Structure 1
C-alpha cells in the first residue's frame, strides 16, 4: 500500500502515473521489486509506460512479453537475460550512453522522467533516508523526476557520502522488508588468475584503482596483498576490497583526490559487503556524474582503470557492449574511466580479457571486428591490453607495432593465423614471418625484475614489436662496441635486419633483453641471445650491453639466466667466440664458468660451458 509521507494519505498508482509516462527503476542491488509488483497488480487503465534503467539485479519482470502492453523498456545498460531477449526481439530498446552523461539526459529532458521508483533505507531522526548501495544515476533520477516513489527497506544499509534523500523529496512510499540480491566473489580459473597476476604488475604502490565485479577484478585483488598504500575511486566496489582494507593495503593515504576515502557510486556483493559499507565513514558513495567524471577521475595520480571486453581488434579497438549485432551489456563507465586514467599523472588504462571464448574455439584478439560489433573504446584510448599470455603496451605505438603486440598476447594456436590475416591490410611487412612465441622458463609472467645501482630493470624476451627499440639500441653503440660485437664495422641496422633479430622462435633459439624506463617509455639496455645447433645439441651465445650500463652486473645476470634456460631445455653445451682483446666480455664468460677451448684462433678465444658436467651445475 502506497502512502504519502507528508499527509499519511493512501495513494493509488493512478494518482501518480498516467498512460504514456516515463518511469525510472532503481539500479543494481537496489531494484524496488515490491513497488514494481504493486504497480503491476494495480495497473488497470495504464498502458505504454516507458521504463528506463541501467543494470538491475532482478528478475526484470517488466521486460517479460506478457507485460508488453503495460511497459516498454528502454535500457541504458543491459543487465538481464530477459531484457537482452526483449531487445533482440524488438520489444525493447537499448540506448548507448556514458554512465557519467545519463544524469544530463534526465536533467535536459532528453529522457524525461515522470516518476522514479527507488529503494531507500528507513529515515533517521532528521528525516533523511539513504539510497544505500546504489547512488549511481538513482540520485539524478530522484532530482529530475516529477514524482518519487520509494520502497523503504530496513535491509538497506545507510551509506556515507552524497547518498541521502529527505522524506520531503518523496511523494509516496511503502515499507517492505526485502533482502538485497547477493553476488558472491566468482570462482577463479587458471586463465583468470594469470590475467590478474599480469594486471597486478601494472599497479604501482600508491596507485588508485577502478575495478569491476567480475572474475578479472577478483583475480587482480587477489594479487595485491603485497602492495602498499592503494586507493579506490571506482564506480562499483565488491567484497574483494574488504580484506585489503582490513590489512591496510587499501588505505587511500596516497590519493590526490578524496584522500583517505574509498569513493564509489554503487556496490554489489554479499551481505558481508552490504554490512561493511553500512555506516562506514571510510567509504563514500557519490552520484555517477561525480565518480565517473573523467576530469575528476584524472585528479587521482597513478589512476589505474581495469575494464573488460568482448573482443579487441589488432589496431586496438575494443568491443564491449555487443556480440556482433546482438547487444549484450552497455557502455557503462568504461570510457569514463579509460579516459580519466589516461589523463591522470602516471595513470594506466587497462583492458583485460581471456585470449579465447570459453570453449576455446575463437580468438578474442581478432584481425577485424565481427560484423555489427560496436566500438565502445576507440584505438586512441587504449594503453594496455592484457590476456593470460601477457601485457600488450599500445600507447604511442604504430598500427604495425600494435598488431604485433596484440598477436603476442593472443592464444598461441591463433597467432600464425592472425599474422597471416593482418598481412591483408598491409599493417605488417612481408618480411615479418615469425609469429610471437613464449619463454615459459622465465616464469608465469615471462618477466623477472632486478635492481642494479638503484635502477629497476626488467628481464624479458625480445618481441617482434621491439623492432624500433632494437634499432635505437643499436644506434647508441660506439664504433668500438660494434667492432667487439660484430668483428667488423657495422654502420646500419635496417628495419628488415632489426625485424629478423626480434622475430625469434623462442622455442628453439633464445633472445632476451634488459629494459628500464625513460618516463613512460621502455628502453633496451642489454640484449643476450643464443642460437641452437640441433645436430650437436649445443648453442652459441652472445650479448651486448649499452656502454653507459656496463660494470653493474647486467651482463653476468643475463648470461646466467640464459644458462639456466639452456639447462632446463636439456642443451649439452654453450659456446662463445670472443675477440681476444675484449677483456671485459672474456671476464664475464670466465666468471660464469666458461673455459677456453683448444682451436682458438689468434684473434679470437673459443669458450665452452659443459652443461652436462656436474662441476658446471
Structure 2
C-alpha cells in the first residue's frame, strides 16, 4: 500500500477506464473528492456502482466528457442524469454483477473502496458493504482505499489483505445513515397481514424500501426466526435484540445472520462492529438460489410499485421512467418459493404515495417493465388483506386482487376484468370490506381445542373453496343446512354465497391451512332483516371439524359485529332433528319458538345478552 497523492491519479486512471465506486454506506467520499479534483484531465472514464447513500457529485454536468456514470441502481440523485441522457442505467440482478466485473462484459480497471484500519496481520475489513465490492477488488487493476476508523470491523469474508490495496488515503468520517420514513396506517396494516404469513422458525429476508422494513417491525412477537438477507437493517437488528431472531432453526449457516450489506443508523453500525454473529458474504453468494432454498420456511419480503390483476409485478419503472433497480428480488422470490414451506411475499399499500392512483391495476403504463412474472408471485399483501395467487387460475387471481385493492377502485378493476374476458359476466358484485378504511385487520389466527385456524371474512375469491366445502359434506349435513335435498352447488351459486356485502351482512369462515392452501372448515353468516334491528344467522361445520367449538366461536364473532352495528336480535331457524345446533343456542340463553306442524324451531337471541354470555364462558 502506498499513500495516495494527487499526482498518482495520472498513473491510476487511463483514458477509457472503468472505475468502480463502493456501495451503500461505504462510498469512499474522501477518495472520490480527491479523484474529482483531477477529473478535468480524464477522458471518457466510466464510473459504475450499485446503491449508494448520500450525494453523488460525480454525476454533475461539469464532468461530462470526463466521467460518465453507468449505475445498477437509480437513487434520486442519479435519476435526473439518466433521464437527461448524461448517465446510464444497467438493469441487472445483484447476483450477476460480480461475474460482469470479473468477465469481459464490464471489466473493472480501478476500484475505489472504503475499509477499516489494518489489524496486526495487515488485514482490513470491507465493513458494511461486501456485496459486489469484493468482486470489484478482485477484478481491478488498481485498488484505492479510504482507511476509515469509523468503518465497523466485521470478520469473515469482509476481511481482505492489505496487499490487495495499491493506494490508501486515511480519513476518519462518520458513515452516512439512512432514516426510514415513519410508517403510515396503511403500511402498518399491510405489515400486520404479512406477519400472519411468517411462521415461527422461518428464515427471513427483506428488500430495500420502507414497506418491507415495516413488515420486519411487525415480527417482534415471533420466535426462533433466522436471517439470510442481502440487506441487514435497523429493523432486523431490533429483531435480534428482542430475541425474535436467534438463528437456531436455520438449515444453512445456523446461528449466524447472513448478509452482504449493512445499511441504517449509527446504532446499527455499532451493533455489527466486531459482532461474531454477523456473517458477511458477497452478493452472488447470498443471492444464490441454491443456497437460499436450503433454509426451510424461507420468507422473502419485497415491495412493488404496481401489481396487475394477474399477479405481474412492476418495481423499477413507472412507464418509460426508471426508478430503483433489480437488486436481489428475483433471486429471493425464487429461492423462497423453492424452499420447503417457503413464502415469497409482495407487500405494498393499495394506493400510490400521493393517494391519487391505485397500485393494483388492470394494466401497466406503456413502457413499464415486469420485474416478477405472474408465475413467480405467490402472495400479494396490502392493507386490505392477502391475495394468495400460487396455483390459482386467472379468474381466481383477478377476484383476489380486486379484494385487496382500495375500495374506491374495485368497481373499475372488476369492469376492466370483464372487458378483457378474465371473469364471467355474473361475477358482477364489487367486493366489500368490513370497514373500507382498513382500520382493523380482518383476519387472525385462532386456537380451538389445541388446533390453529385462520379466521377471516368470506370473499368472492373463495368461490371454488366453498364448492369444495359443499361437496365434502354428507347428504345429511346438506339437508340440515339447507332444509331440503340439494346435490349441487354451481359456480354461480357459490359466487353469490361468497359475494356478501360485508358492510351490511356478514359471512365469516375458519380455514385450515396446508402450505399455500386455505381449506374452509366452517362458515357462519348473518343476513340483516329489512328493519335493520334483527338478522338471521346460519352455520355449517365440516364433519371432520365438529365438537371443536367452531359454531360457538363464529356466533361470538357475528354477535360482536351485530352489536357494533346496532342490531338488537339474532335469530336462527333450526331443523328439529339438528340437536347439536339447537344445543349451542339454548346453552347461550336463546328463546325457542315452535309452531305445531313445523319441522324447524326458531331461536331468538338478544345480542347484548348473547355477548355477555359468550364473554362469561370464554
Please classify the TM superposition score into its range, dividing by the shorter chain length: over 0.9
- CA distance change for structure 1 residues 531 and 47 in 2, over 3 Å: closer, same or farther? same
In the TM superposition, what is the alpha-carbon distance from 1:162 to its structure 2 partner?
Answer: 0.4
Equivalent position of 1:4 in the other structure: 2
Whether the aligned pair in 1 keeps the contact of 2:301 and 2:346 (CA below 8 Å) is yes
Give 1:592 deviation, angstroms: 2.7
Q: Where in structure 2 are the equivalents of 1:181-330 lying within 5 Å? A: 181-330=176-325
Q: Which of 459, 477, 480 pairs up with 2:476?
A: 480
Q: Is the 8 A contact 1:233 1:264 kept in 2?
A: yes
1:601: Cα distance to partner? Answer: 4.4
- In 2: Cα distance, 1:246 partner to 1:610 partner: 49
Determine the structure 2 residue equivalent to 1:468: 464
Corresponding residue to 1:104 among 78, 94, 99: 99
Change (3 A) 1:489 1:42: same
Deviation for aligned residue 1:349: 0.4
2:335 maps to which of 340, 349, 361: 340
What displacement does 1:212 show? 3.4
Q: What is the TM-score with the length of structure 2 in the denominator?
A: 0.96
**Aligned equivalent of 2:33:** 37
- 2:564 is equivalent to residue 557 of structure 1: no
Q: Is the 8 Å Cα contact of residues 588 and 610 (structure 2) preserved in structure 1?
A: no
- 2-structure distance, mates of 1:121, 1:552: 61
Whether the aligned pair in 2 keeps the contact of 1:4 and 1:10 (CA below 8 Å) is no
Say if 1:616 and 1:163 are closer, same or farther in 2 by CA, change over 3 A. Answer: closer
Q: What is the alpha-carbon distance in structure 2 between the residues aligned to residue 95 and residue 296 of structure 1?
A: 26
Q: Which 4+ residue blocks in structure 1 deviate beyond 3 angstroms?
A: 8-11, 440-443, 598-601, 612-617
Deviation at 1:504, TM superposition (A): 1.0
Q: 1:491 to 1:37 in 2, by over 3 A?
A: same
- Residue 73 of structure 2, aligned match among 72, 77, 99: 77
- For structure 1, which segment, 131-140 or 172-181, has the greater mean C-alpha deviation from structure 2 after superposition? 172-181
Alpha-carbon deviation of 1:403?
1.1
Cα distance between partner residues in 1 of 2:610 and 2:168: 82
Question: After superposition, what is the alpha-carbon deviation per residue over 1:175-228, rounded to whole angstroms, capped at 9, x for unaligned?
Answer: 122211011343222122112212211111111111235332332232222211
3-state SS of the aligned residue for 1:426?
Answer: coil
**Separation (CA, whole Å) in 2 of partners of 1:198 and 1:401:** 20
Q: CA deviation at 1:553?
A: 0.9
In structure 2, C-alpha distance between the alignment counterparts of 1:11 and 1:61, rounded to whole Å: 21
- Contact residue 522 and residue 540 of structure 2 kept, 8 A: yes
After TM superposition, give the deviation of residue 329 of structure 1 in Å. 0.8
* Alpha-carbon offset, residue 580 of structure 1: 1.2
Select between 562-571 and 255-264 the one with higher mean Cα deviation: 562-571
- Structure 1 stretch displaced more, 510-519 or 473-482: 510-519
1:386 matched residue in structure 2: 381
Give the aligned partner of residue 416 of structure 1. 411
What secondary structure, in the 3-state scheme, does the structure 2 residue paired with 1:216 have? helix
After superposition, the C-alpha distances for 1:401-453 in whole angstroms (9 at most, x for unaligned) are: 11111111111111111111111111111111112211249982212333233
The 3 A distance-change label for structure 1 pair 146 and 607 is same
Residue of structure 2 in register with 1:523 after alignment? 519
Q: Distance in 1 between matches of 2:556 and 2:499?
A: 23
Question: For 2:368, which of 361, 366, 373 is the aligned residue?
Answer: 373
Distance 1:613 1:44 in 2: 84
What is the DSSP-based 3-state SS (H/G/I as helix, E as strand, rest coil) of the residue aligned with 2:41? coil
The CA distance in 2 between the partners of 1:313 and 1:325, in whole Å, is: 17
Matches within 5 A, 1:569-580: 569-580=565-576
- 2:149 pairs with 1:154: yes
Q: 2-side partners of 1:83 and 1:458: how far apart?
A: 45
Partners in 2 of 1:252 and 1:174 — Cα distance? 38
C-alpha displacement of 1:316? 0.5
Contact persistence 1:321–1:327 (CA under 8 A): yes
Preserved contact between residue 459 and residue 499 of structure 2 (Cα < 8 Å):
yes
| Cα deviation code 1:345-381 (max 9, x no counterpart) | 1111011111101221100011111111111111111
Question: What does 1:430-469 correspond to in 2, within 5 Å?
Answer: 430-440=425-435, 444-469=440-465
User: Equivalents in 2 of 1:466, 1:510: separation in Å?
Assistant: 15
Q: Please give the alpha-carbon distance, in whole angstroms, between the structure 2 residues aligned to 1:200 and 1:486.
A: 37
Counterparts of 1:350 and 1:268, CA distance in 2: 22
Q: Matched residues in 1 for 2:406 and 2:49: separation?
A: 37
Q: CA contact under 8 A between 1:309 and 1:319: conserved in structure 2?
A: yes
Partners of 2:229 and 2:286 within 8 A in 1: yes
- In the alignment, which residue of structure 2 is the partner of 1:20? 16
> How big is the shift at 1:46?
1.4
User: Cα distance, 1:157 vs. partner?
Assistant: 1.0
Matches of 2:40 and 2:426 in 1, distance apart? 72
Aligned-partner Cα distance in 2 for 1:600–1:372: 71
Q: TM-score scaled to structure 1, two decimals? A: 0.96
Q: Are residues 240 and 518 of structure 1, via their aligned partners in 2, closer, same or farther at CA, if it must alter by over 3 Å? A: closer
What SS is found at the alignment partner of 1:29?
coil
Counterpart in 1 of 2:508?
512
Q: Distance in 2 between matches of 1:363 and 1:293?
A: 34
Question: Deviation per CA, 1:269-302, whole angstroms, max 9, x where unpaired?
Answer: 1111111111100011110011111111111111
- The 8 Å contact of residues 124 and 159 in structure 2, kept in 1 or not, is answered as yes
Judged with a 3 Å threshold, the aligned counterparts in structure 2 of structure 1 residues 600 and 277 are, in CA distance, closer, same or farther, namely: farther
* SS of alignment partner, residue 375 of structure 2: coil
Note the C-alpha offset of 1:53: 0.7
Please give the per-residue CA displacement for 1:517-569, whole angstroms capped at 9, x wherever unaligned. 23432100111111111236321111111112112211111122212211111
Gaps of 5+ in 1: none
Which residue does 1:64 correspond to in 2?
A: 60
Deviates more, 1:338-347 or 1:511-520: 511-520
What RMSD in Å do the two structures reach over aligned CA positions? Answer: 1.9
Deviation per CA, 1:299-332: give whole Å up to 9, x if none: 1111111111111111111111011110011100
Distance 1:203 1:536, change over 3 A: closer
- C-alpha distance in 2, partners of 1:498/1:132? 58
